[in-house]
Amino acid sequence: MKRRTLTYMALPVVWCLVSGQITLGSILLGFLFGIVVVAPFSELYRLDEVVYPTGNWISKIPKKIMYFYVLIKEIIKANIAVAKIVIKPTIDIKPGIIAVPIRTKTNIGITGIANTITLTPGTLTVDISEDKSILYVHSIDATDPQGIRDSIRDDLEHYVLEAFE
């Protein structure tokens, strides 16, 4: 109950910062928004219980730094590839949806790889299979589906597995 109360009290402050006004009306409106936003979703966010990190999270900090380095590198490479496609006078692409088998099994790992794929320009995670073993990825150029699968598996998922599982 304490965490939910703290959340209700913090949201008016955030609302005042966003609106740029510190008035009684802004504070009340922020509190009202807090109740409307937090109350229906409180079960999803487990605001009433303390969640402790599992595993040896301190030892994974270097792996997370490496993951972010690889992510930024992949985003830059993908931006250059998409820019080349856009600059060409004729657009010679074959977009498509590719089934990509994934090794990660935890929700945080699946979310990590799906968001990593979506953050990379030219690709977008569209769906996940019922058994959570295959991601469906839309690619701006799907002429080499196996190459895209290998790139995701070797360049992205490998680092997600190390950092988040």
Long-range own/partner contacts, residues 144-150 (CB < 8 A, 24 or more apart): 145/96, 145/98, 148/98, 148/100, 148/123, 149/98, 149/100, 149/101
Q: 160 φ, ψ to 5°? A: -65, -45
User: Quick check: 161 and 116 in contact, CB under 8 A?
Assistant: no
Query: Residue 63 is encoded by which pair of tokens?
Result: 């792996």
pLDDT at 92 over 60: yes
Give the pLDDT mean for 57-85. Answer: 87
pLDDT at 47 over 60: no
pLDDT at 98 over 90: yes
pTM of the model: 0.64
